């Protein structure tokens, strides 16, 4: 199925053609794969370029591809209010996952990034306030990772949980965020 993309790709490919992969257009969204270290530059470019103006950040989503390597992924969905275009940016991340924060580009990224940190342990470097958002302070582990059991680990509050020690990930402890 080859659908003509409505998106004006020329300025993006001209500037980032070497670094990013064009994953094509499907179901109304044009997707790109980008290296994580470029995410801020790319987002700022997409937001501020006069022909693109992706001024609305719809969503940031963490994905765990366990046991594939690289294991994690951060997916950004951008929307251009003036042009009515949608773009998806996918960044594969290693373990432990790190990616620069885009809070400086859109303030709405704040809670999206906190959610991805809470659920997947993706560390958004430069985030002003990277705390857990859904789980409580002191919760151990990242519940939406594929290796975290659906019912959680057994303890006195969770008698139906899975036997076994909770995942201790000293390098990813909730405190000591860079």
Partner 1 sequence: MTEVTELSRPEGEAPDTREVLLNLGPQHPSTHGVLRLVLELEGEYVARVDPHIGYLHRGTEKLAESFTYTQIFPLTDRLDYLCPPSNNLAFALAVEKLLGIKAPIRAQYIRVLMAELARISGHLLITGALPLDLGAMTALLYAMREREMIMDLFEMISGARMHTSFCRVGGVREDLPDGFFPKIREFCDIFPNRIRDYERLVENNRVFLKRTQGIGVISAEDGIDLGLSGPNLRASGVDWDLRRDEPYEIYDRLDFSVITRDEGDCYARWRCRVEEMRESVRIIEQCLDQMPEGPFQIDMPTIAFPVDKDKVHCSMEALIQHFDLSAYGFKVPKGEVYSAIEAPKGELGFYIISDGSEKPFRMKVRAPSFVNLQGLFGTSNAHFLADMIAVLGSLDPVMAEVDK
Give residues in contact with partner 1 (CB under 8 A).
Answer: 1, 26-29, 55-59, 61, 63-64, 75, 77, 81, 84, 86, 88, 106-108, 110-112, 115, 119, 132-136, 143-144, 150
Q: Measured from the CB of residue 109, what is the shortest distance to partner 1 in angstroms?
A: 8
Considering the complex, state which of residue 6 and residue 17 has its C-beta at the smaller distance from partner 1.
6
Minimum separation from the CB atom of position 137 to partner 1 (A): 10
CB of 14 to partner 1, least distance (A): 26
3-state secondary structure of 120: helix
| Cα–Cα dist 125/101, whole Å | 5
- For 48, phi and psi rounded to 5 degrees? -100, -15
Q: Whole-angstrom Cα distance, residue 149 to residue 146?
A: 8
Looking at beta carbons only, is 15 or 53 nearer to partner 1? 53
Helices (H), the chain: 10-16, 39-48, 109-120
């Amino acid at each position: 199925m080859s659908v003509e993309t409505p998106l004006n790709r020329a300025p993006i490919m001209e500037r980032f053609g070497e670094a990013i992969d064009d994953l094509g257009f499907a179901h109304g969204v044009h997707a790109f794969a980008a290296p994580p270290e470029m995410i801020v530059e790319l987002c700022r470019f997409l937001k501020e370029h006069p022909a693109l103006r992706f001024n609305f950040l719809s969503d940031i989503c963490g994905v765990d591809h366990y046991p594939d390597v690289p294991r994690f992924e951060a997916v950004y969905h951008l929307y251009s209010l003036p042009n009515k275009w949608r773009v998806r940016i996918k960044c594969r991340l290693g373990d432990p996952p790190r990616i620069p924060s885009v809070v400086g580009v859109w303030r709405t990224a704040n809670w999206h990034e906190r959610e991805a940190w809470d659920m997947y342990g993706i560390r958004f470097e430069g985030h002003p306030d990277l705390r857990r958002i859904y789980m409580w302070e002191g919760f151990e582990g990242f519940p939406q990772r594929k290796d975290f059991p659906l019912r959680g680990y057994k303890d006195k509050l969770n008698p139906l949980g899975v036997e076994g020690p909770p995942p201790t990930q000293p390098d990813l402890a909730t405190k000591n965020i860079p």
